[in-house]
Amino acid sequence: MVRGVVPRQPAKTGRQERARIERSAKKPAGLRPVPPGQKPGPTRAKGSKQAATKLTPTRASKGYNPVAPERIAEILKRLDQLYPDVTCALTHKSAWELLVATILSAQSTDANVNRVTPELFRKYPTVADFAALTPEQLEPDVRSTGFFRNKSKSVIGAAKKIVSDFGGQVPDEMDKLLTLPGVARKTANVVLGTWFHKAEGIVVDTHVTRVARRLELTKNTDAPKIEQDLMRVIPREKWILFAHQLIWHGRKLCVARRPKCVDCALENICHAGDKTWTTVEIHKNAKL
């Protein structure tokens, strides 16, 4: 041995060993498509180098931005192809009928509301007819939609205010709609967008919340903040259609439990943490 050269000894502090463990922990995991029924995740398929190299690790890629204009444009393009002309599924023939149906649809399904409203509007054809009722008189007619006491109060309260303050006409302005009992931004946006074709905001219901979070268009969980996030990244001329598209997508494929990712046209640009099938990296926080 050359004089003065001493073989390196492990540091008594164990520093090298820690560094080795940290280095190996940083090694990127491979990716694989995960079939339905198996837990999705960024793990390499056993013995399948090919599967691992086919996939795109996007988050690890430098500068991944889920609301980048190109990604938003791609999402909108695919939604347009999937749902070119969808609209509100609540049956209605006037702004008033749509307002009532939207109030009744809270915590209920559109199909359930559509079973109730034809008879309701046959029995009470005008806003003035509703304004003349007490909430107790309306309750039996809307009972099957759930939360019927509150809903009856809201509908009758809205009818009275429309008659007293707005000459019997449903107002077509956000500020005025928000003065009606039982009407918050979601209901106001449904009426403004679907009936008056006015894009004052974006409808945020349970479906929009779920799909927007899975697609990483928002990290928020409460409707007003989600709406603001979406209004910032979605072009205004798409606000009305976009909300309907997310609602339809949330009903058909991006359902709450076990979304049908294998059939979804957005799959390879969706990194949702609760996907049931994936060809791309999973982002744990992007989920319902």
Least distance from ligand SF4 to the Cβ atom of residue 223, Å: 19
Residues β-bridged to residue 280: 56
Of residues 228, 205, 244, 2, the one with CA closest to residue 107: 205
CB of 54 to ligand SF4, least distance (A): 17
The residues annotated with a catalytic role in the active site are 186, 205
State the nearest-atom distance from the C-beta of 218 to ligand SF4, in Å.
14
Residue 200 or 281 having the CB closest to ligand SF4: 281
Instruction: Summarize as ranges the residues that interact with ligand SF4 (CB under 6 A).
Output: 214-215, 253-254, 259-261, 264, 266-267, 270, 272, 275
Nearer to ligand SF4, 44 or 260 (CB): 260
Shorter beta-carbon distance to ligand SF4: residue 186 or 275: 275
Crossing angle for the helix pair 135-142 and 148-165, to the nearest 10 degrees: 130
Q: Does residue 15 sit in helix, strand or coil?
A: helix
Annotate 94-108 with b (16+ C-beta within 10 A) or e (fewer). ebbbbbbbbbbbbeb
Q: Rounded to a whole number, what is the distance in angstroms from the first to the last CA of the chain? A: 65
**Is 146 buried (19+), middle (13-18) or exposed (0-12) by CB count in 10 A?**
middle
Nearer to ligand SF4, 236 or 251 (CB): 251
Structure token pair of residue 29: 């995991």
Spatial CB neighbours of 61, under 8 Å, sequence gap ≥ 6 = none
Residue with Cβ nearer ligand SF4 (176 or 260): 260
Q: Nearest approach, Cβ of 66 to ligand SF4 (angstroms)?
A: 12
- The least CB distance from residue 260 to ligand SF4, in Å, is 6
Task: With CA atoms as reference, report the closest residue to 163 among 124, 126, 127, 125.
Answer: 127
Burial of 5 (0-12, 13-18, 19+ CB in 10 A): exposed
Residue type, 114: N
